[in-house]
Amino acid sequence: MLITQEGFTIEMPRPQKCRRVAFLPEVTYFKPAGIPLSTLGEVVLSVEEAEALRLKDLEGLEQGEGAEKMNISRPTFQRVLASARQKIADAILNGKAVNIKGGNFETAFNRFRCRRGHEWDLAKSANAAPEYCPTCSTPDVQAIPLAEYGQGRTSRSKRRGRNV
Whether 98 and 149 have beta carbons less than 8 Å apart is answered as: no
Predicted model pTM:
0.65
Predicted pLDDT of residue 98: 97
Residue-wise pLDDT tens digits, 8-21: 666 767 776 778 88
Amino acid 24: pLDDT? 83
- Which tens digit of pLDDT belongs to each residue from 56-96? 999 999 999 999 999 899 999 999 999 999 999 999 999 99
Task: Report the amino acid identity of residue 80.
Answer: V
Q: What is the pLDDT of residue 120?
A: 81
Q: What CA–CA distances, in Å, run from 12 to 16, 67, 76? A: 12, 25, 19
Q: Which of 151, 159, 148, 154 is nearest to 99 (CA)?
A: 151
CATH architecture for the domain at 15-105: Orthogonal Bundle (1.10)
DSSP string, 61-104: --HHHHHHHHTS-HHHHHHHHHHHHHHHHHHHHHT-EEEE---S
Domain ranges, ordered by start, for the chain:
15-105, 109-151
Per-residue three-class SS string for 20-59: EECCCCCCCEECCCCCCHHHCCEEEECHHHHHHHHHHHHC
